[in-house]
């Protein structure tokens, strides 16, 4: 496909336009995210991915009830031209019936085959959106990558929490996540 040769300037599709198409039901049978003005197909989800997301859900929801909302695979209104659907997003309590959240305390992506995308474009998008903390649950390497200090180019800091380790969101230091529980 790729009209990249043809595109000194491509006009990115905007989130607002994307949302209108979603509302019209045009993407009903597709798994798509809007990333930097492009429609991007989401990779299929395998059992280790689903398992990790479920564990995170069970671990995070109870201690955060009343303090934050844990959303699973829901759209996040990151930027004017991006609307990703992170695996887990912890957002401030509020009413999101009409608009998707645009602020988050923590975003988590579980990466089985999507590592390159999650470390590259997604990492940049979340940092640009000012999300203070971003985790990648790295399924093949059995660890969690923790990104902090967001800036325009991406997160300035990254450290890896190994399979025997544990990690807590900066915003909720009491909510301890053991890596071995997420990645069996």
* Site residues for other proteins per CB under 8 A: 1-7, 9-13, 16-17, 20-21, 24, 26, 30, 32, 35-41, 43, 116-117, 120-121, 124
Q: Which is nearer to other proteins, 71 or 124 (CB)?
A: 124
- Report the nearest approach of other proteins to the CB of residue 99 (Å): 18
Least distance in angstroms from the C-beta of 63 to other proteins: 34
Residue 4 or 174: the one with the smaller Cβ distance to other proteins is 4
CB atoms within 10 A of CB 108: 26
Q: What is the DSSP string of 142-174?
A: TEEEEEEEEETTEEEEEEEE-TT-EE--TT-TT
Q: Name the phi and psi angles at 142, rounded to 5.
A: 55, 55
Residue 11 or 152 having the CB closest to other proteins: 11
Please report how close the Cβ of residue 27 comes to other proteins at its closest, in angstroms.
8
The answer to whether 57 and 70 have CB atoms below 8 angstroms apart is yes
Smallest separation (angstroms) from other proteins to the CB of 160: 23
Is residue 49 packed enough to be buried (19+ CB in 10 Å), middle (13-18) or exposed (0-12)? Answer: buried
């Amino acid at each position: 496909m790729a009209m990249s040769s043809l595109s000194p300037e491509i006009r990115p599709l905007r989130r607002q336009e994307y949302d209108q198409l979603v509302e019209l039901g045009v993407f009903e049978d597709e798994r798509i995210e809007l990333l930097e003005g492009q429609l991007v197909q989401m990779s299929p989800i395998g059992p280790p991915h689903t398992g990790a997301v479920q564990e995170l859900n069970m671990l995070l929801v109870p201690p955060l009830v009343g303090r934050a909302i844990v959303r699973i695979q829901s759209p996040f209104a990151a930027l004017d031209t991006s609307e990703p659907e992170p695996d887990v997003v912890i957002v401030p309590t509020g009413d999101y019936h009409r608009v998707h959240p645009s602020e988050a305390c923590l975003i988590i992506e579980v990466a089985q085959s999507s590592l390159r995308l999650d470390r590259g474009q997604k990492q940049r998008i979340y940092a640009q959106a000012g999300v203070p903390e971003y985790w990648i649950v790295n399924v093949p390497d059995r660890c969690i990558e923790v990104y902090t200090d967001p800036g325009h180019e991406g997160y300035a800091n990254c450290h890896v929490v190994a399979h025997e380790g544990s990690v807590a969101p900066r915003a909720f230091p009491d909510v301890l996540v053991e890596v071995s529980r997420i990645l069996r």
